[in-house]
Structure 1
Amino acid sequence: MFRLAHISDVHLGPLPAVTYRDLASKRVVGYVNWQRNRRRHMVDALTDTLVADLKASEPGHIAVTGDLVNLALDGEIELARLWLETLGPPHDVSLVPGNHDAYVPGAFGKACRSWSAWMSGDGEEGPVSRDTFPYLRVRENIALIGVSTARATAPFMASGFFREGQAARLEKILEETAGRGLCRVVMIHHPPVRGAVSQHKRLFGVGRFQKAMRRCGAELILHGHSHLPSLYHLDGAGGKIPVVGVAAAGQAPGGSHPAAQYNLLDIDGGKGDWRIRLTRRGLTGTALPLADLEAVELSGKAAAFVRN
């Protein structure tokens, strides 16, 4: 059995010193949002507690589906790199970027340079860029496929983008790993499901992504962005594909979204008969420590729910 942990939307704080020059962009909107909202509801101490509990579960790998930072300031990007080092070595942690990691033009490239070790495919030694996504890592019989939907957008927008070139590369990886009999886990920040988030946060190219799933299939899709512990299904080449979201890792109780959670995916079986069990762990109200909140069997075309 392979145990995969899934965490997302860390939004590390506090913000470093911000200059007027930093705010002469879309960042002024995000800065106001941080001061009014995220500063009170995104709490680093909760993330630390969450990560400690996650590590105690002894996963074989950790998937991080984006939004490590808030405004993509240089200081934030460096802080996130240090945080990734504490989370685990690059061999054991796979990251895809979120919209906050590409908050303004130029930020995506800086994040790629700083976090490249956690966003590189097996055997890839060159620089990370838009053209190196999706990347592929194989751990035991699990194919971890990292897709990027991160791109700078206009103020008040948090959209993602999935273009033709990446779609073609994704299909090639899906076909190749299917031929090897691997369990294919696709990691993406924006939920590839229509209506999963409001219009200003949606994924452009969602139809293109879903077409790739219908053509090539996958066994599991993990995403962030919505800050919700969600479960959807997409049509795939071999049946329904579970699409699993997760609550934000640093979300404090009492906000508009569920408090901090992470997912554990226990994967067993083999080609054509993969058995995946999802366990959500997180806060129960304001109480610590964390507890199991829900268990879901994702095997087959129908999922069985067991709620605590």
Structure 2
Amino acid sequence: MRIGHISDLHILAISDVRPWEYLNKRLVGGLNLLLNRSKAHSSVVVERALEALASLDVDHIVISGDLTNLALDSEFAAAAEIIRSIESASTRVSVVPGNHDYYTPGAAKEGRFERHFKDYLKSDLPEYQLERGYPFCHLRDDVAIVGLNSGLATPWLFATGKVAEDELEQAARLLDDERLKSRFKVVVVHHPLMADEHHRFNFNRRLLNADEVLTTLRQKNVDLVLHGHNHYLSVLQVPKLGEPGTTYVCEAGSTSMEGGDPVMAGKFNIYTIEDGALAEIETHLFESHESGFRPFRSEVFRQRVEEPAE
């Protein structure tokens, strides 16, 4: 199975926004848009990424949050339209929210993200799903994809996240379900669980209970964790705690970035899963509007070969 991973789309759609909708945290976010973000992120680049994924024999697409900039209904509608363009999207897409999708208390309370993306939150194991929609589980071939919500409405200048305690407890029960025992387990969450070379410790951007979440996932023998938030490519490895093996923790970067420096340019990943193990991670890089995305790097994982019996 091949899973495409895009993230941090930051779709901008503010043409019909009323002035009083900026009288909150959006005032800071709006200024950031005018000065920086609107020049860096492009919905056209996201569309080019989806075109590339459609041509690369991808079975499923995961989107790890921050589909919007300011959690406006207009932005959710624009992002939902882009996702609907994916062939058989209702059964081939898994999506979780990020901090920008919960940008204000109103957006979080009204469940705007959940309303616009409800088709992709339907769980194949609904008995573990809390009323607010998480954790959900999508069973696809020999893979189980579990979605968690780390989105929080935070004060100005903060972009922290947290997976609610009851949600993490339900996820632990779900991951213990016999129907997942023989499947490759993927967990999707927006905020990173570990420091990487680009982000050692960000007090105002961190996942507040990252250690607890990571420990739980390692204890439940999760094979692959996909996240966003940092806008950098990252592939980290830690040992599982429940059995021998490795938990991979990966970020593709922000898919919608226009380009320029390859470190920050738009990217997506493809994870190839064979015989219940991660076989390869391919990263594709946005080069230009003329040429679109091109292969950037590939990491192949050697599988253990059984010694012949004497």
Report the TM-score when normalising by structure 1: 0.89
- Alpha-carbon distance between aligned partners in 2 of 1:262 and 1:244, rounded to the nearest angstrom: 11
- Alpha-carbon distance between aligned partners in 2 of 1:75 and 1:27, rounded to the nearest angstrom: 14
The C-alpha deviation readout for 1:155-182, integer Å capped at 9, x for no partner, is 1111110222122111111111575300
- Alpha-carbon distance between aligned partners in 1 of 2:202 and 2:290, rounded to the nearest angstrom: 30
Unaligned runs of 5+ residues in structure 1 are 302-308
Match of 1:267 among 263, 266, 273: 273
- Cα 1:218–1:39, aligned 2, differ >3 Å: closer, same or farther? same
Report the TM-score when normalising by structure 2: 0.88
The C-alpha deviation readout for 1:45-69, integer Å capped at 9, x for no partner, is 2222111111111211100101111
Match of 2:118 among 116, 119, 125: 116
SS in 2 for 1:292: strand
Question: Contact conserved, 2:45 with 2:289, CA < 8 A, in 1?
Answer: no
SS in 2 for 1:54: helix
Question: Contact conserved, 2:221 with 2:240, CA < 8 A, in 1?
Answer: yes
Question: Contact conserved, 1:66 with 1:98, CA < 8 A, in 2?
Answer: yes
SS in 2 for 1:137: strand
- Alpha-carbon distance between aligned partners in 2 of 1:107 and 1:234, rounded to the nearest angstrom: 35
SS in 1 for 2:176: helix
Unaligned runs of 5+ residues in structure 2 are 305-310
- Alpha-carbon distance between aligned partners in 1 of 2:80 and 2:294, rounded to the nearest angstrom: 28
Question: Contact conserved, 1:67 with 1:100, CA < 8 A, in 2?
Answer: yes
Pairwise CA distance, 1:194: 3.8
- Cα 1:177–1:146, aligned 2, differ >3 Å: closer, same or farther? farther
- Cα 1:78–1:287, aligned 2, differ >3 Å: closer, same or farther? closer
SS in 2 for 1:189: coil
Q: Percent identity?
A: 26
SS in 1 for 2:149: coil
Tell me which amino acid in the other structure corresponds to 2:10.
H
Q: Is the aligned partner of 1:282 residue 2:285?
A: yes
The C-alpha deviation readout for 1:238-277, integer Å capped at 9, x for no partner, is 332111101211101236951111111110013xxx1331
Pairwise CA distance, 1:289: 3.5
- Cα 1:300–1:217, aligned 2, differ >3 Å: closer, same or farther? farther
- Alpha-carbon distance between aligned partners in 2 of 1:3 and 1:18, rounded to the nearest angstrom: 39
Aligned residue number for residue 305 of structure 1: none
- Cα 1:168–1:50, aligned 2, differ >3 Å: closer, same or farther? same
- Alpha-carbon distance between aligned partners in 2 of 1:92 and 1:5, rounded to the nearest angstrom: 10
Q: How does 1:22-41 map to 2 (within 5 A)?
A: 22-41=21-40
The C-alpha deviation readout for 1:59-98, integer Å capped at 9, x for no partner, is 1110010111100112112222222211342111110111
Q: CA RMSD in A?
A: 2.4
- Cα 1:289–1:78, aligned 2, differ >3 Å: closer, same or farther? closer
- Alpha-carbon distance between aligned partners in 2 of 1:121 and 1:225, rounded to the nearest angstrom: 24
- Cα 1:50–1:128, aligned 2, differ >3 Å: closer, same or farther? farther
Question: Contact conserved, 1:190 with 1:223, CA < 8 A, in 2?
Answer: yes
How many residues of Structure 1 are paired with residues of Structure 2 in the alignment?
Answer: 296
Match of 2:238 among 234, 239, 244: 234
Tell me which amino acid in the other structure corresponds to 1:219.
D
Aligned residue number for residue 253 of structure 1: 259
- Alpha-carbon distance between aligned partners in 2 of 1:293 and 1:94, rounded to the nearest angstrom: 24
Aligned residue number for residue 9 of structure 1: 8
Q: Is the aligned partner of 1:181 residue 2:182?
A: yes
- Cα 1:10–1:190, aligned 2, differ >3 Å: closer, same or farther? same
Runs of 4+ in 1 over 6 A off after TM superposition: none
- Alpha-carbon distance between aligned partners in 2 of 1:166 and 1:106, rounded to the nearest angstrom: 21
- Cα 1:257–1:179, aligned 2, differ >3 Å: closer, same or farther? closer
SS in 1 for 2:44: helix
Q: Is the aligned partner of 1:215 residue 2:215?
A: no
Question: Contact conserved, 2:192 with 2:230, CA < 8 A, in 1?
Answer: yes
- Cα 1:177–1:123, aligned 2, differ >3 Å: closer, same or farther? closer
Question: Contact conserved, 2:47 with 2:82, CA < 8 A, in 1?
Answer: no
The C-alpha deviation readout for 1:130-163, integer Å capped at 9, x for no partner, is 3x31111100000011011011111111111022
Tell me which amino acid in the other structure corresponds to 1:77.
F
